[in-house]
Chain A
Amino acid sequence: MAWLHTWCGLLVCWVLLLVFAGGTASYYKEEISLWMMPELHATRSAPVPQAQAIEHAVAYLQQKAPRAERWFITLPAERSVAMRVGWVAPAGDGNGGSARSRFKSERIDAATGQPLAQVRDTRGGEFLYRLHFDLHYMPVQWARWIVSICALFMLVAIISGVITHKRIFKDFFTFRPHKGQRSWLDAHNATAVLALPFHLMITYTGLVTLMFMIMPWGVQSAYRDKGGETAFFETVFPGTAGRVKPAGVAAPLTALAPLAAQAQQHWQGAPLAVLVVNNPGDVKATVVITRQKMSTLSSLQPGLMYQGVTGERLAAYGDDPSATAVTRGALYGLHLAHFADPWLRALFFLCGLSGYLMVASGALLWAVKTRQKEAKAIAGGARASFGLRLVEALNIGAIAGLPIALASYFWANRLLPLELHQRAQMEINLFFAAWAVAAALAQVRPDLRMWRLQLGLGAALFIGLPLLNVFTTQSHLGVTLLLGRGPWPVAAFDLTVLALGIALAMAERVLARRQRKRQDGLQAAPAKSRVERDPVEETA
């Protein structure tokens, strides 16, 4: 069973590191987006009546995208204060491709209906969230298959890890630092066992979020005579309901504010999330309104569908969900953690970090163990095997390279010129460029110096972010924290990256001390010193 654990973990660990980093950051998706749009930091608008906000949004969309296939109006929520409008431009006239590539969105001021003054073009936390399961630069379907297969491997690795861990209770609190391989095993055990409920939950529920793609057969057979998969998805995701072909006959859209009021009454005054208008301006227009998720475990989001011209109610989804739907909703909800208050959110974030460390220490453990096995040959002058060298290089590129990539993304957000063409994509390109350079350099020279270089660079970039803010924004720590003016999420972001940077710097210092010790040892006993070689604990 031990080999199962080893290979299930090792084969996919570098992808898992990316997934863990993106997923952990996504717990603060809205806060990261806010940090990345400093233009919004000063706006503290009074709440606008919902009817007025919706009217403004419709007026804006009428003028901006009258012929759109679909409109989205995202109402302000607790953690995202700006109102967002989005639309899918019609296919044809030069823009082909999927609905996703034709989708555009803007933030508007709910009080005036005007676009918020020059907010910089950025994907913000949304990029990290999508990266977490859609990766990038590849079709979404491929990416989701890759991520699901990696998640499946991880589930097998977790379960087989628990079975093979013979001293799970005896070593429950054990960590023995500065003992080479044993320390790595201890670190791997501690980060895995102590956060085991989280790891099991997040891996399993992660698979549940993609279950209709991984195992579509149940749905296909159960809905064969009931409208097929489309009907099923409309029930599960009401936001996608009412997507019919337009008739091509123009007809004015009914007023949305009364529909919204009606929907809110239907849900006993619960806040609304999104208004979707399919085929606006057509006879066959439909309006779908979804309720905000409540602070319960389940992520079920009921919806109501209206005819877009007459305002007649066509269907209600998810008002009386079945036991299966609630079960899935709870599992899905656990993964997203939208129910979490700030304290619980912080706990989820820490557990995510511990997952990153678990994967990292596991990958390092394999390298340390294998080097130990080859120690005699290497001491005798032979070269490290190809596999060992590859894993060591990939470890540097992933474990120390990812923090560099993440920090570069945030640096790019502050430093790229605002008027740059396709600025948002440029930020993302810089994320991958920085990562590619780090990974390539690691392949060239996978040694202790490279670890120190990359950890040190990651530390400098992360610690530099709050400083960079002083020169590029009006909402740096001096204002948000010292003068106590907020916004608090921005201050918290700065403090978090500062802490991560300090953790990386500490890791770098540990390695520096080790390198010095080894050089001293090298002068004393040249033959023995290359046996022990283990890189460092780190955090991102």
Chain B
Amino acid sequence: MTALGFLLALGLAYCAWSALALAMDRHYAELHGRGAEPAPPVRRRLRQLGVLGLVASLAVTMRMQGWSVGMVAGLGVLTLSALLQVLALTYWPTRGPALTRFVLFGLPVLLLLWAMENLL
């Protein structure tokens, strides 16, 4: 694993967990006020994006280390990013989305750098 690949996988997984958390009533309500619930299409879209992000994160680690070791590394990345997500939801409930957005905008840059590193 390279630093860029590791950060890319971690960032993808972090954003994916953010989407999945936002699709849940409790965490949605933390942002939009007590009792607020995501509309069904929003919830569906968030869940789809979340699953897509998790798969993409696994794909990155598996691209780097082969399917067997890559799967192990991928699960480790999912664990770490989920723990970070829990910490963010607990201690920065209002600043969480800004953090996720920051990571999300960083992802294309990381992806580009990582792709260049792979091709060169």
Instruction: Show the binding face of A for B, using Cβ within 8 Å.
Output: 170, 172-177, 190, 194-195, 197-198, 295-297, 330, 334, 339-341, 343-344, 347-348, 350-351, 354
Contacts and interface: CB of A to CB of B under 8 A. Distances in A.
27 contacts: A170-B26, A172-B20, A172-B24, A173-B17, A173-B86, A174-B86, A175-B87, A177-B90, A194-B79, A194-B82, A197-B75, A198-B76, A198-B79, A297-B68, A340-B69, A341-B65, A343-B6, A344-B72, A344-B73, A344-B76, A347-B76, A347-B77, A348-B76, A350-B79, A350-B83, A351-B79, A354-B79
A173 B79 contact: no
Interface string B81-115: 01101110110000000000000000000000000
Nearest to A189: B86
Interface in B19-43: 20-21, 24, 26-27
Contact of B86 (A170, A190, A297, A330): A190
Given A173-B24, A173-B85, A177-B90, A334 B72 contact: yes
Contacts of A190: 83, 86
A195 B79 contact: yes
A183 B3 CA distance: 34
Residue with the greatest number of chain B CB neighbours at <10 A, chosen from A295, A341, A347, A351 = A347
B52 interface: no
Contact of B1 (A175, A194, A198, A341): A341
Contact of B80 (A174, A330, A339, A347): A347
Nearest to B2: A343
A173 B68 contact: no
B80 A350 contact: yes
A174 B76 contact: no
Interface residues of B, number: 27
B56 to A, nearest CB: 18
A190 B90 CA distance: 12
B72 to A, nearest CB: 7
Given A170-B24, A194-B86, A334-B72, 13 more contacts: A172-B20, A190-B83, A190-B86, A195-B79, A296-B69, A297-B72, A339-B69, A340-B69, A341-B65, A344-B72, A344-B73, A347-B73, A354-B79
Contacts of B65: 341, 344
Contacts of A195: 79, 83
A344 B83 contact: no
Contacts of B85: 173
A230 B69 CA distance: 32
Nearest to B82: A194
Nearest to A175: B90
A268 to B, nearest CB: 19
B76 A295 contact: no
Contacts of B6: 343
B69 to A, nearest CB: 6
Contacts of A174: 26, 86
B109 to A, nearest CB: 20
A175 B26 CA distance: 12
Q: What 8 pairs across the A-B complex have the smallest Cβ distances?
A: A347-B76, A343-B1, A194-B82, A197-B75, A175-B90, A297-B68, A344-B73, A195-B79
A173 B21 contact: yes
Contacts of B27: 173
A197 B79 CA distance: 8
Contacts of A330: 68
